[in-house]
Structures are given as structure tokens and as C-alpha cells.
Structure 1
Amino acid sequence: MLLENKTAIIYGGGGTIGGAMARAFAAEGARVFLAGRTPATLDTVAARIRDAGGLVETARVDALDADAVNGWVDSVAATAGSVDVSVNLISHDALFSPMIEMPVDAFAASMEKVARTFLITTQAAARHMIKQGSGVVLHFGGSDSGNRMPGLGNAQIAFDMVEAMRRQWAAELGPHSVRVLSMRTGGVPESFPDIPETAQIKQQLVDATLLKRAATLTDVGRVAAFLASDHAASLTSTQVNISAGALVD
């Protein structure tokens, strides 16, 4: 198993992407700790993992609260003996409007939320990873430096900020054998609600690929598990593109 005896933390673990990663990590032998603010969604993911024979625990944690995050991560380390993988998947406050029309306060608040949660959660994991001399911090979403699409509002900017933080974290944590990576998918149709309003968007995501198939939740989970494993030991400070050719490096 790729992640046998590893401990993985996932913030936003009750979401679609978080659930996919959690199931894949558990299937590869990891003990998974899911954090979020909605116990019901966390419990749903945890039940599927347990039904498949995996190890999982859940906790209600606000990823914007430094004391709560640090206290929880310390408890995970004390219980499991290590913190090997940390993934932050909490949702951004997306504002899809032209920048010239963007309310300044709303934009600033959304950027502060992203910066705060990624700094808090990475700091909490990094303290333990530095001590143990190993670990993986994994981001999801990535950025597109060649973006030419108007109307993305703060969404692309938020991803770019996370990527800038990823590069800095990789430089600072690399000497401690801690790797920092991100995944970019170009969109996962399965993660969209299965309603008529999303049908066209899903088809557009598929049509934009070279393989004429978009990344699936299974793809996301399998690649995430590989990146978190020792098989990817030489990978850090980079984006891993699983967009089926929709995004060009």
C-alpha cells in the first residue's frame, strides 16, 4: 500500500474532492483525519471509508481559527504519532465579476480568508513535519499563469496566491525533506451538482480536453495518493496537471 502507516489530515474532508482524496488515502493504508465545520458531511465520508475497512476519524474544526487548528493537529500527532500529509480543501468565497466592478471590501475579505487558512493549516502541519523530517503538504486547484479568460473575478487570483505560497513553503521546508505540491484538474464534472443547469458546463469541461474525458474523482484520489507517497519523493514545488490536456503548462 502506498500510504501504509501514514497519517493524513484533510480540511474540508466532507466535500466531494475531500471525500475522494480521503477514500483513496484510506484505501492505500493511511489513517485519515477529516476536519470541517459540518459534522453530517464528514460522517457521510467517514462511513464509506469504514465500510471499506479504512481508518478514519472526524472533527469539527474551523480552519480559520489558528488556536483550533493547532490544537487539533497537535492532538492528531499525539494520537497517530505523526503528521505525514496535510491537505486544505476549504471552499473559497468566489466572486465572479469584472475586477472593475468588484466591491473592494468583499475582494479583500475573500483574499484574507484564503491567505489566513492556508497559512494557519500549513504552519500547523509544518511544525510537526520539520521535527519528524518528512511530510507532504498538498494543495488542490492550481493556477493558470497564461490565463486569458475574463470574468473569473477573485477565483484565479486566489489560486495564484496559493501557488505563490506553495513555492515559498517548498523553498523553506525542502531542507527538512518536506514536500509541497499542488494539483490542477481543469474542473471535475463529477463534483458538480447533477442538475440540468450544470449539464452544459460539464460538457464544456470535457470538450476542452485533449482526451475528451475530464478528470474524475477517482483520478483525483489516485493521483493525490501517489503524490503523498514515497513514490513521488523527488516531486516538490510544482503543479501536477491532471486536466487531460485542457490546461497547457
Structure 2
Amino acid sequence: MLLENKTAVVYGAGGSIGSALAKGFAAEGARCVLVGRTPGTLDAVAEEIRAAGGHAETAVLDALDEAAVNDHADTVAARTGSLDISVNVITQDAIFTPLADMPVAEFARAIEKVAASQLLTTKAAARHMVKQESGVILFFGGSDHNQKQPGLGTVQIGMDVVESLRRQWACELGEHGVRVVTLLTGGIPESFPDMPEMEPQKQAIADATLLRRAATLADVGQVAAFVASDRARTMTSTQVNISCGAHGD
């Protein structure tokens, strides 16, 4: 298996994307630590992983609580012997108001939350990865510099902020053998609410791709597991494009 004897921490593991990542890691032999704020959703994902023969445990904490994040990372590393994979897919508080109409305070809060959460969780993992001279930090969402869609408010800006963090982390951690990679997506329709009014948006995602189909949650987990494995050991400071051609060079 690709991730045997590896420990993966997934922040936001109770959501659709987080659970897909955790299942992908577990299917390849990783010990998965599912982190979030809602015990019920975390337990449900953990049960699915265990039923499939994987290893999963849960931890309830706020990814904006620096002390809690650090203590948890220390506990995981001490108990398992390593912290090998870290990914934070906790969603930002998206504001779709046009920038010209957006209150400055609301904009600042939205961007601060996503930046602070990603910085805290990455710092916690990086401390241990630097010591062990190995590890993989994944980000999800990505940035398309050719983006021409209006009305996205803080969503794309937040992703661009995360991408700036990814580039800087890759520069600072590379000498310690730690890789930092983003999964670039054009949207995962399966992660949308199952409501009739969402169907046009789901179809629009597929229509925007070259393959005329969107990535699935299973695709997300499988690609993430490969990127986190030693078979992708040459990959860092980059985005892995899983948009089915919605984004391209």
C-alpha cells in the first residue's frame, strides 16, 4: 500500500472533501486522524473507514485554537511515532458580495479566518516534519490566474491567499525534506447539497471541463493518496490539476 505506516491528520474530516481525503489515505494504509468540531460527523466517517478495513480515530477541536492544535499535533506524533501528512480543508466563510459593495470588516474577517486556520495547522505539522526530515502538507482548492468569473467575492481571494502560503511554506520546508502541494479543482459536484436548485451549478462545472465530466470525491481521495506517497517524492511547490481540464495552461 502507498501509505503504509504513515500518519495522516485531516482537518475538516467530517465534510465531503475531508472525508474523501481521509478515505483515500486510509485505503492506502495510512493511520487517519479525523479532526473537526462536530463529533457525530467525524464518528460516521471513522466508522466507514473502519468498516472498509482502515484505521481511523477522531479528535474534536477548533482549528483556530492555537494551543489545542499544537497539543493535538504533539500528541499524535508522540503516540504514532510520526506525523507524515497534514491537510486542512476547513471551508472559509464565503461572502459572494461584489467587492465594490463588500463591507471592509466582513472581508477582513473572512480572509483572516482562512489564513489563520491554514497557518496554525501547517505550523503544528511542520514542527514535527522538520524534526523527522520528511512529510507532506496538502492544500485543496487552488488558484487559477486566468480566472475571469465575477461575483466570487472572498472565495477565490481566499484560495489565492492559501496558495501564497503554499508557495512560501514550500520554500521554507523544502530543505528539510517536506513537500507542499495543492490539489487544484474546478469544483466537485458531489460535495454540493443534494437539492434541485443546485443541479444547474453542478452541470456547469462539468460543462466547463475538457472531459465533459467533473472530478468525483473518489478521484479526490485517490489522487491525494498518490501525491502524499513516496511515489510522488519529486513533487513540491506546485498544484496538481484535478479539474478535468477546467483549468489549463
TM-score, normalising length: structure 1: 0.99
Once the two structures are superposed, residues 96-130 of structure 1 have per-residue CA deviations (whole angstroms, 9 ceiling, x without a partner) of: 01101001111000111011111100100000000
The number of equivalent residue pairs is 249
State the partner residue of 1:174.
174
Deviation at 1:206, TM superposition (A): 0.7
Once the two structures are superposed, residues 70-94 of structure 1 have per-residue CA deviations (whole angstroms, 9 ceiling, x without a partner) of: 0000000011110000000111010
Stretches of structure 1 lacking an aligned partner (at least 5 in a row): none
State the partner residue of 1:159.
159
The alignment status of 1:238 with 2:238, answered yes or no, reads yes
SS of the residue aligned with 2:182?
A: strand
| Whole-angstrom distance in 2 between the partners of 1:150 and 1:27 | 39
The alignment status of 1:210 with 2:239, answered yes or no, reads no
State the partner residue of 2:3.
3
Stretches of structure 2 lacking an aligned partner (at least 5 in a row): none
| Whole-angstrom distance in 1 between the partners of 2:176 and 2:114 | 25
Deviation at 1:184, TM superposition (A): 1.2
State the partner residue of 1:123.
123
Identity of aligned residues (%): 63
The alignment status of 1:67 with 2:67, answered yes or no, reads yes
State the partner residue of 1:222.
222
| Whole-angstrom distance in 2 between the partners of 1:244 and 1:115 | 27
TM-score, normalising length: structure 2: 0.99
State the partner residue of 2:145.
145
Deviation at 1:61, TM superposition (A): 1.1
Aligned structure 1 segments of 4 or more residues deviating by more than 4 angstroms:
none
| Whole-angstrom distance in 2 between the partners of 1:165 and 1:194 | 33
| Whole-angstrom distance in 1 between the partners of 2:93 and 2:194 | 22
Q: Which amino acid aligns with 1:206?
A: A
The alignment status of 1:34 with 2:24, answered yes or no, reads no
State the partner residue of 1:20.
20
Once the two structures are superposed, residues 125-158 of structure 1 have per-residue CA deviations (whole angstroms, 9 ceiling, x without a partner) of: 0000000000000000001111111111111110
Cα RMSD for the two superposed structures: 0.6
Q: Which amino acid aligns with 1:198?
A: M
| Whole-angstrom distance in 2 between the partners of 1:157 and 1:72 | 29
State the partner residue of 1:44.
44
The alignment status of 1:191 with 2:217, answered yes or no, reads no
Deviation at 1:69, TM superposition (A): 0.1
| Whole-angstrom distance in 2 between the partners of 1:27 and 1:149 | 36
Q: Which amino acid aligns with 1:75?
A: T
SS of the residue aligned with 1:20?
A: helix
